Structure 1
Amino acid sequence: MIFSSWSLASYGENLDAEGIVRGTTQEVLNRLDADRELLAADPSHIQTIVRELIVPHFDFETMTTLALGMHRDELSDSEHDCVTAGFRNLLIERYADILLSYHGEAIVYEPAQPIGKRGYIVIRQTLDPDGDRPLPIDYPVNPEQGKLRIADLIVDAVSLVKNYRKTFHYEIEKKGLKQFIDSFPECNGQ
């Protein structure tokens, strides 16, 4: 086993991050199976599952800051908070859509790998359907403040955060910052 320049602490964080992704995935799959009838009657129930089991592992503050890019500094703290809440709800909807498209494919995990210079690591999970093209899902994990939190969701090499950064920038340039903020129901009255 080659550790290269990783410290033992980093190695431990990698194992913990892998455990979080694997454990949460299994918990979600068990819940999807247990709630199958409820989901058939009420597909929006998937958002409850996402909020309960997945949301606690995501760093929505970092995700929002990255998605806003250069526009982050133009927002007050309260505006940033409401945009963060709105973006969190938007990402919950997207992740719920991804989960609803899961149909029992095999899930393959790759060992955690360091990425970038900020100490982030990435966990790759690949949905491997029989006879179909595998779908890789990467979870970049932010190890700051002693808590491992997912800072993006990269599905088939497309970063949701970077995709929204382009969308947000376009909307802000087109409509202006105030209308962009007001487009989030969580920001009405800000």
Structure 2
Amino acid sequence: MLNRRGFVAWCAGAFLAFATLTGHAQSQEAPDALIQRLSDEVLQTIKQDRAVQAGSLPRIMELVDAKIMPHVNFRRMTALTVGRYWRQATPEQQQRLQEEFKQLLIRSYAGAVNQVRDYQVVVKPLRADPEDKEVIVRTEVRGGKEPVQLDYRLEKTPNGWKIYDVNVLGIWLVENYRSSFAQEIGQHGIDGLIARLAERNKSGAAGNGATNASANGRS
């Protein structure tokens, strides 16, 4: 049975690692339909791909780099997580932050993927107006003892809807990391946060959060 921390790690990485696996962009696709399709593809791939089931980081990173960016505004997600310090970062620092944060989430995901093969995601009715530029798509992940809340924030762009935040068990991913990132930057600067993220990724300890976020009881 997937424990709470493992499930949070899986969800945090799943929407990044497998935002799409078929490569067929559907720019006019409704946000709730998009999430349902991507969720189904995630679980189907887990069932079929042995390398993914084994948590192969190279395989997961390959899929991330090749497929996910059309459906995730990862720059915005990283900027929101870093908060007010984002504008102080140089373009090079911003790029490094995105790279290390992405790897942090993917490493967290890799160790838990083989535990969710029998889960399914049910998308709830969308509460939004046609002219809305940002929406929240709410879902339930079923297959364990109780359904688990898993929600997505999306923005409408000329290239379709983009995911920029995810809510697991009532905790938004951006908010979960923001305080620990701010603390690290406050003590050691932006380069200090980058170094801390790189250290966590290199050691394979990313499942505990870049700056020990889970120790704060928020994941």
Asked whether 1:164 is paired with 2:177, we answer: yes
* Residues 61 and 77 of structure 1: CA distance in aligned 2, closer, same or farther (over 3 Å): same
> 1:28-67, aligned counterparts within 5 Å?
28-36=42-50, 38-39=51-52, 42-44=54-56, 47-48=60-61, 51=64, 52-67=66-81
1:130-189 per-residue CA deviation (whole Å, 9 max, x = no partner) reads 5x1211110111113342110111111111111111110011122233322333449xxx
In structure 2, C-alpha distance between the alignment counterparts of 1:14 and 1:101, rounded to whole Å: 33
Q: Structure 2 unaligned runs (5+)?
A: 1-26, 200-219
Figure out how many residues of one structure are paired with residues of the other and give that number: 169
* Residues 53 and 124 of structure 1: CA distance in aligned 2, closer, same or farther (over 3 Å): farther
Give the equivalent residue in structure 1 for 2:118.
104
Asked whether 1:22 is paired with 2:36, we answer: yes
Question: Alignment partner for residue 84 of structure 2, among 70, 74, 84?
Answer: 70
Give the equivalent residue in structure 1 for 2:165.
152
Question: Alignment partner for residue 180 of structure 1, among 176, 184, 193?
Answer: 193
Give the equivalent residue in structure 2 for 1:140.
153
Letter in 2 for 1:120: E
Give the structure, 1 or 2, with the largest relative contact order (CA under 8 Å, sep 6 or more).
Answer: 2
Aligned 8 A contact 1:28 1:53 in 2: no
Give 3-state SS (helix, strand or coil) of 1:153's partner.
strand
In structure 2, C-alpha distance between the alignment counterparts of 1:98 and 1:110, rounded to whole Å: 25
Aligned 8 A contact 2:52 2:113 in 1: no
In structure 1, C-alpha distance between the alignment counterparts of 2:189 and 2:45, rounded to whole Å: 42
CA RMSD of aligned residues (A): 2.8
In structure 1, C-alpha distance between the alignment counterparts of 2:82 and 2:36, rounded to whole Å: 30
Give 3-state SS (helix, strand or coil) of 1:143's partner.
strand
Q: Structure 1 unaligned runs (5+)?
A: 1-12
In structure 1, C-alpha distance between the alignment counterparts of 2:172 and 2:56, rounded to whole Å: 24
1:46-95 per-residue CA deviation (whole Å, 9 max, x = no partner) reads 62475155454211110011001111121011211111121122223334
In structure 1, C-alpha distance between the alignment counterparts of 2:126 and 2:62, rounded to whole Å: 25
In structure 2, C-alpha distance between the alignment counterparts of 1:163 and 1:14, rounded to whole Å: 31
Q: What percent of counterpart residues are identical?
A: 24
TM-score by structure 1 length? 0.75
In structure 1, C-alpha distance between the alignment counterparts of 2:124 and 2:110, rounded to whole Å: 23
In structure 1, C-alpha distance between the alignment counterparts of 2:28 and 2:152, rounded to whole Å: 12
TM-score by structure 2 length? 0.66
